[in-house]
Amino acid sequence: MMIKVVSSAALPVTENLMIQKNRIEGAAEPCGKRVCIVTGTHGDELEGQYVCARLAKLLADGRQSLSGVVDIYPALNPLGIDSIIRGFPMFNLDMNRIFPGSASGSLAESTAYDIVKDIEGADICIDIHSSNIFLREIPQVRVNEQSEEALLPYALMLNVDLVWIHAAATVLESTLAYALNACGVKTLVVEMGVGMRITESYCEQLLAGIMNLLREIGMWRGAAGKVRSPEVSKDRSVGFVNSDAAGIFIPRVAHNSVVNAGDVIGSVLDPLTGMTVENAVAPCGGLVFTLREYPVVFGGSLLARIMGALQ
């Protein structure tokens, strides 16, 4: 175990903003490979914290079975995690919109630059997110359609329930995953669970997936359980359920369950009058892979996403 400071910059009063990583070097015969696990870009997403904690211990204890290097970066936005702030504190910016950063830019941009430079040269990077405080997600890998060919084989190793291949958008060119994929680091974005909470079962599921991936690419000789094969969104429709009314949302289906078209996903109630102001129905049958967790809704709030049948 070796703790390294990847980026450091002075804050106004006394302390420094520091991005740290834990480098675990395998004791088995070297293979020259390096895998990076990064999380904590959004300060309110904590599922990755537990994955990092478990992984660091597991690999440190199993160094004899590890070859190559695993770098664990648990907090790309440490001030945000410390203060439950999603964005980069003191900047009105989402940290995942400023990559690849710039050496001569502002503190946020130069921190982003330091992070990319440090990861550059790695074979694979896994960037763990956990939705936000509003929505709960089943463990999934999100892949930009442009990098589907390069990434799908690795996404299938990660023991997730779903691989969502989404359309490219220019705005996403400023994410960490885009910047890393552009410089040759195969980067997989994992979304799972919900903001401000840790879902232990999901973390264990992804951990098993990471160990499986390490074994598949020849870095891990220890045990790794059997992994599930995920649904792949390709050629499937995704149904969105949004509220039109405002009030409190009470779900009527379980997260990660299968529904039929027309089923009531949940109700929106007006606590002042006691009336049900909306019964939100499923636009298609399929798996409820996203379900609203935060009860207060406005007109337009996302309530659920459903992975439909093959088209």
Partner 1 sequence: MIKNVVYSIKSPYRRSMDIASYTFGSGEKTCCVVGALRGTEIQQMAVCAQLVDTLRRLEGKGRMAKDGSVTVIPCANYYSMNIGKRFWTMDNTDINRMFPGYNLGETTQRIADGLFNAVKGYTYGVHVTSFYLEGEFLPHAKIMRVGDAAEGAYDSLADFGLPYGLIRTPHPYDTTTLHYNWLVWGCKAFSLFTTYTERTGTRSTQAAVNAVLRFLAARGIIEHSLHKGSHTHIMQEEDMTHIHTASAGVVKNRVSVGHEVNEGDLLCEIIHPLEGYSVERITAPAAGTVFFSYNKQLVMERADVFKLVPF
Residues of this chain that bind partner 1 (CB under 8 A): 9-14, 17, 86-87, 90-93, 97-98, 104-107, 110, 132, 134, 169-174, 240, 242, 244-248, 270-272, 296-302
Give the shortest CB-92-to-partner 1 separation in angstroms. Answer: 5
Quickly tell me which residue has 């996404």 as its tokens: 155
Q: Closest approach of Cβ 111 to Zn ion, in Å?
A: 16
Minimum distance from residue 119 beta carbon to partner 1 (Å): 19
Which parts of 11-86 are beta strand (E)?
Answer: 16-25, 34-39, 69-73
Shortest Å distance, C-beta 195 to Zn ion:
8
74 three-state secondary structure: coil
Nearer to Zn ion, 87 or 247 (CB): 87
**Binding-site partner at residue 91 among partner 1, Zn ion, none, CB < 5 to 8 Å by type:** partner 1
Tokens of 192: 């799972």
CB of 61 to partner 1, least distance (A): 38
- For Zn ion, the binding residue among 22, 35, 37, 42 (CB under 5 A) is 42
HSE-CB for 163 with a 13 A CA cutoff: 24
Q: Which does 129 bind (CB under 5 to 8 A by kind): Zn ion, partner 1, none?
A: Zn ion
Q: Which stretch binds Zn ion (CB under 5 A): 125-133, 179-187, 239-247, 301-309?
A: 125-133
Among 34, 129, 136, 305, binds Zn ion (CB under 5 A): 129
User: Which residue, 108 or 284, has its beta carbon nearer to Zn ion?
Assistant: 108
> Which residue, chain included where needed, has tokens 């207060």?
296
In the complex, least distance from residue 11 CB atom to partner 1, rounded to whole angstroms: 6
Of residues 2 and 168, the one with the C-beta less far from partner 1: 168
Cα 166 to the chain's mean position, in Å? 15
**Whole-number Cα distances in Å, 110 to 22, 38, 185, 301:** 21, 18, 20, 35
* DSSP letters spanning 209-278: HHHHHHHHTTSB-S-----PPPEE-TTEEEEEEE-SS-EEEEE-S-TT-EE-TT-EEEEEE-TTT--EEE
Crossing angle of helices 200-216/47-61, nearest 10°? 50
Binding site for Zn ion (CB under 5 A): 42, 45, 129
